[in-house]
Amino acid sequence: MKTALKVTLGLVAALALIAPASAQTYKPEYKISTVVGAPFPWGLMAERWATIVKDKSGGKINMKVYPGASLVGGDQTKEFTAMRQGVIDMAVGSTINWSPQVAELNLFSLPFLMPDHKAIDAITQGPAGKKIFEIIGSKDVVPLAWGENGFREISNSKRDVKKPEDLKGLKIRVVGSPLYNETFTALGANPTQMSWADAQPALSTGAVDGQENPLTIFTVAKLHTVGQKHVTLWGYVADPLIFAVSKPVWDTFSPADQQILREAAVDAAKYGVEIARKGITAADPSVLKEIEGLGVTITRLTPEEQKAFQAATKPVYDKWKARIGADLVTQAEKSVAAR
């Protein structure tokens, strides 16, 4: 009997050691926060991430997209903080919306830093992008991949914008960032900060005259129906997106699951970049033609006209370069120049 008892106790002890290593507890659902959902490219890439992860995990990791920044009461600038606290499991987040908590992300909002898509890639895939991921990783958020929301072009209901003077007095909806306020103030406009959920009604009623967003937002949201009849292609800033997981949540996954999440994010990000750029390039201007077909005038700036906007915003650029970190911005500038 003593021998049998020893054997039994030994087996219990062995099972106790084995169980924690083999058991994996999953939530019934992991929440992904986004500002906009499908059919916007932003939402589509988040859904693609969830689909790939569910498939590769054999249905063990179920992720659901919550658009409209609904997990933070619609205040998109609180998303990063909620992730740090583990309130939000995952996000495909905007560099603009996270910049209040991660000052270095203001890099992408420096006016006219990135003249083309190759410049965006040179920064996100280069030393500056790597450094930014290290900074985010030190704040209890695990960044996995760079997606894209696209260049932010300006539209309004009043007139064509070809020079800074054309913006004088126009009420322009901007995101909740002081850098955007200062940029549009320097151009003579009247910037008004509000969430995207509030922006469309404000455009409809004329409470604001215009807005700045990627053209994919313009087409899907049908902004031509709320008076936006004048679009200027100036590519003054771009908005890379970041696939990320809250570190408290990340730490609950096994290394194998973490690899699934990371690889799926990379795949979904590539898909997102592709659809964000579709139809707005010289090789494929289909979206631009679609917008013009809606009775919207598209203004394409000459190099000289664009330089006038750059000159008007240079004091803002220089001021924020120091705030963001001169070394980081210089590195980004070098990557752009070498592209």
User: Could you tell me the pLDDT band of residue 196, with boundaries at 50, 70 and 90?
Assistant: confident
* 125 and 144 assigned to the same domain: yes
DSSP 65-121: EE-TTGGGTT-GGGHHHHHHTTSS-EEEEEHHHHTTT-GGGGGGGSTTS--SHHHHH
Distance CA 325, CA 328 (A): 5
Q: Mean pLDDT score of the chain, rounded to an integer?
A: 92
Domain identity same for 97 and 118: yes
**CB neighbour class for 248 (10 Å; exposed up to 12, middle 13-18, buried from 19):** middle
What's the pTM value of the predicted model, to 2 decimals?
0.89
Shared domain for 99 and 164, answered yes or no, is no
Same-domain pairing of 183 and 111 = no
The distance from CA 90 to its chain's CA centroid, rounded to whole angstroms, is 13
Provide the number of structural domains found in the chain.
Answer: 2
- Confidence (pLDDT) at 21: 42
Residues 286 and 314 in one domain: yes
CATH number at residue 164: 3.40.190.170
Host domain of residue 130: 26-150+239-277
Q: Are residues 36 and 181 in the same domain?
A: no
Q: How far apart are CA 291 and CA 185, in angstroms?
A: 28
- pLDDT (tens digit, 9 = 90+) per residue, 102-135? 999 999 999 999 999 999 999 999 999 999 999 9
Does 127 fall in a domain?
Answer: yes
Q: What residue type is assigned to position 285 of the chain? A: P
Q: Indicate whether 106 and 252 sit together in one domain.
A: yes
Q: Are residues 265 and 296 in the same domain?
A: no
What is the average pLDDT across 214-224? 92
Q: Note the pLDDT of residue 23.
A: 65
Q: What are phi and psi of 189, to 5 degrees?
A: -85, 175
State the pLDDT at residue 24.
82
For residue 202, the SS3 value is: helix
Helix (H) or strand (E) holding 126: none
Model confidence at 15: pLDDT above 50: no
Residues 133 and 96 in one domain: yes
Is residue 327 predicted with pLDDT exceeding 90?
Answer: yes
32 plus 106 within the same structural domain = yes
